[in-house]
Amino acid sequence: MNKKVPHKINYDTTGLISNIQFYLIIIGTMLSFSTIFNLQDCIKSNVEIIICIVSIIYFIFEIIFNNFFIKAEQNRINDLIDNSLNSQLADENSENYYTNEEVKQSVYKLGVNGFENAFFTKNISRKMIKKQLPFFIAVILIYLISIFFVEKKILVIVFQLLLPLYVIKDFVQLNSFNSKVETIYDCYKKVFTSTKKADREPIIINNIISYEKLLSSYSIQLDSKIFNKMNDKLSIEWKELKIKYKL
């Protein structure tokens, strides 16, 4: 079944920007590391200038990323509301993006769609954590070894390198993000199991707000390669969950 996702182009753009930023971090790290060696003053001065330029370019791409990410998120939210409540907020709506067409458009369907979002986000972000874990462990080991076996002058430079700091920050943020998504996911399970139908709507709306606030706060983009690889498997599991919770 073919999917139509108008807001995908914005996420593709933010994904490209993230990749460029990652390579800028690698370049900046390599340049910073090169200052460990005895370079001529003129060469060292040029390296420091290039590091500054790389940092400025990274900062500019960060602004561009945030603008495109906010736009992508707003388009996705509009499409979510249109699909759930039969509104017309989006300029162009997705097709076959959500798999809950049999559910009547209502706040209840908004909750089912939100449940599906939380399910996919929880599993994909967990897979991203497993993917990043070896790099995180490697960085921590390098730092620990540096503390005990590297000269103080070099140690200071090691702790200023951009790439290791980026890996640590990204891994810690991703774990925190995944933990909060799982909390929202568990709340959805309670909504559709132990909560009376008359009391569901406020909790569903609160869950939707909590999920969207979480995405905007962390600005974490799910790995598209992992999503494409896991999509079929997760879609089957989601259908089984709909049967289990009688959605």
Q: What are phi and psi of 95, to 5 degrees?
A: -130, 130
The partner residues of 100 in beta bridges, in order of sequence, read none
Residues 143-164, mean pLDDT to the nearest whole number: 70
DSSP, res 159: T
User: Which pLDDT band, with edges at 50, 70 and 90, does 99 fall under?
Assistant: confident
Residues 215-219, mean pLDDT to the nearest whole number: 90
Long-range contacts of 102-107, Cβ-Cβ distance < 8 Å, separation of 24 or more: 103/247, 107/200, 107/201, 107/204, 107/205
Question: Which run of H or E residues covers position 222?
Answer: none
The partner residues of 95 in beta bridges, in order of sequence, read 4
Q: What per-residue confidence (pLDDT) applies to 230?
A: 93
Per mean pLDDT, which range of 123-127, 131-135, 148-152, 243-247 is the poorest? Answer: 148-152
Nearest to 223 by CA among 133, 129, 138: 129
Q: What per-residue confidence (pLDDT) applies to 166?
A: 82
Q: pTM value?
A: 0.86
At 49-72, the pLDDT tens digits run: 888 888 889 889 989 998 888 888
Residue whose entry in the numeric block shows the structure tokens 């070099």: 154
